[in-house]
Amino acid sequence: MPCGSWLKLVASENTEQVWVLEAAPKEKFALVAKIPVGKLPHQMAVSPDGKYVAVGAIEMRFWADLVKVLGLAADDLPVHVDKSEWPRLRKVLTEAIGKYTRDELVARAEGTDACLTPVLSPWEAAQHPHNAARGTFVDIGGVVQPAPAPRFGRTPPETPEPPHEKGADTAEVLSEYGLDGPEIERLKEAGVVS
C-alpha cells in the first residue's frame, strides 16, 4: 500500500474527520539530482540545444501520439515493444528528436498523450507553471528547495525556516550545557567557539 494511502487510513481511524492528502507523484522527484538514462521504451534524448527530453510512450495510443509529434511515419518504424528492435528504434528516435530544440518538442507534444516531457534543471523545475501552482518548491532564506510533502488538508506542514547565522545560538546552547556567561566569553575570545 502506498505510504499516502496508509497515512490517510491511520488518520481516518483516529478521527471522525475526513483527511485530504495532497501529494503529487512527481513531488517525490523534486529531490532527484541525477536521472539515469534508461533503455527503451523509456529513454532520454538530447536535442540540438543541448537540453534533454524524456520519452516513455509504451502503450500503443501513447506511442501513436509520440510518432505524430516527432513527424515520423508509423509504417516505417520497427515495433516499439520488440527489444531486438530497440537499437534501430533508438537511432530513429535520436535523429527525429535531433531536429527540434527541447522547447519545440515540448510545444509539439502539448495537449497530446505522447509521453514526451522536458528534463528540467532544478531552476527551471522550480519555475515550471505546474510546480509553481502546486507550491512544489519554496524559497527558504534565498535557497529554492523542494517544499515539505506530503501535505494534509487539515494539518499542512510549516515551511522550514532558514538556518541561523553561524554562532547565533552558541551562547544558548553552551548555557544549556551548564556554562555561564564569563566561561562562554572566554571560549569566544580564545576562538574555540564563534
Asked if the structure places residue 90 within a domain, the reply is: yes
- Kindly state whether residue 113 falls inside one of the protein's structural domains: yes
Task: Look at the pTM and tell me if it is higher than 0.85.
Answer: no
Coil, strand, or helix at residue 153?
coil
Q: What is the DSSP string of 46-66?
A: E-TTS-EEEE---SHHHHHHH
Q: pLDDT category, 1, cuts 50, 70, 90?
A: very low
CA distance 106 to 121: 15
Q: Could you list the residue range(s) of the whole structural domain that residue 54 is in?
A: 43-119
Of 33 and 44, more confident: 44
Query: Does 114 share its domain with 50?
Result: yes
pLDDT per residue as tens digits for the range 101-141: 999 999 999 999 999 999 898 889 999 998 999 888 999 99
Please name the residues in contact with 84: beta carbons below 8 A apart, sequence gap of 6 or more: none
Let me know whether 115 and 48 are in one domain: yes
In this structure, are 109 and 48 located in the same domain?
yes
Is residue 150 a part of any domain in this protein?
no
pLDDT category, 150, cuts 50, 70, 90? confident
**Other CB atoms within 10 A of residue 6 CB:** 10
Q: Which three cell numbers stand for residue 99?
A: 531536429
Structural domain contains residue 88: yes
Pair 111, 171 in one domain? no
Q: Is 160 helix (H, G, I), strand (E, B) or coil?
A: coil
Digit-coded pLDDT (tens) for 50-61: 898 988 888 999
- Domain boundary among the residues 119, 144, 177 is at 119
Query: Domain count of the chain?
Result: 2
Examine the pLDDT at 21 and tell me if it is beyond 70: no
Does residue 84 sit within a domain?
yes
CATH code assigned at 88: 3.30.1540.10
